[in-house]
């Protein structure tokens, strides 16, 4: 996930370092989720959110020299890693705000239309059966 924003922009050694760094930080994010207890059964934020953020920000340190030279020409003579880092951090912050605002709008609409939570009875029966009328794994809930 971390190399996605950096694909084609970083050297192979940079991709390896990004992968190692992101794997550690993603693991720590999942451990934090378990400690805090927020609901993310697929660890989507811990893997894709943190991995993408790490990749987008860290690519500044591993960007190909030719890209930095082209950026320097476009900027009128100089372009530093720190300038690129500033651009990457700004882009990540814009993406976070955009995703948060749209998610809140979607959650508001869904909550008004059909609700966000299944009832306790539906959860106990199993959501595959209570919402879809089928058993996902061919097993019947004995309780």
**pLDDT of 8-50, one tens digit each?**
899 999 999 999 999 999 999 999 999 998 888 899 999 999 9
Mean pLDDT of the chain: 90
Q: Is the pLDDT of residue 139 over 70?
A: no
CA torsion, ordered 53, 57, 62, 66, to nearest 10 deg: 120
pLDDT at residue 101, rounded to an integer: 99
54-111 per-position pLDDT tens digit: 999 999 999 988 888 888 888 888 888 899 999 999 999 999 999 999 999 999 999 9
Counting Cα atoms < 13 Å in the Cβ hemisphere of 44 gives 5
Structure tokens at 63: 């960007």
Whole-prediction pTM = 0.79
pLDDT reported for residue 95: 97
Who wins on pLDDT, 137 or 108?
108
Quick one: tokens of 81? 């890693």
| Domain ranges (residues) in the chain | 12-132
Confidence of residue 143 (pLDDT cuts 50, 70, 90): low
Residue 55 CB partners (closer than 8 Å, separation 6+): 1, 2, 3, 4, 5, 6, 18, 22
Task: Let me know how long the chain is.
Answer: 143
């Amino acid at each position: 996930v971390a190399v996605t924003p950096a694909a084609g922009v970083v050297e192979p050694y940079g991709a390896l370092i990004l992968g190692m760094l992101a794997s550690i930080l993603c693991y720590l994010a999942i451990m934090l989720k378990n400690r805090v207890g927020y609901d993310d059964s697929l660890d989507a934020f811990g893997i894709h959110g943190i991995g993408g953020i790490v990749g987008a920000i860290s690519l500044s340190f591993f960007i190909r020299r030719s890209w930095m030279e082209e950026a320097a020409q476009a900027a009128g003579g100089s372009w530093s890693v720190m300038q690129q880092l500033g651009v990457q951090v700004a882009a990540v912050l814009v993406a976070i705000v955009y995703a948060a605002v749209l998610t809140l709008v979607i959650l508001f609409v869904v909550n008004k239309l059909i609700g966000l939570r299944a009832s306790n009875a539906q959860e106990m029966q199993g959501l595959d059966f209570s919402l879809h009328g089928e058993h996902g794994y061919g097993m019947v809930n004995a309780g």
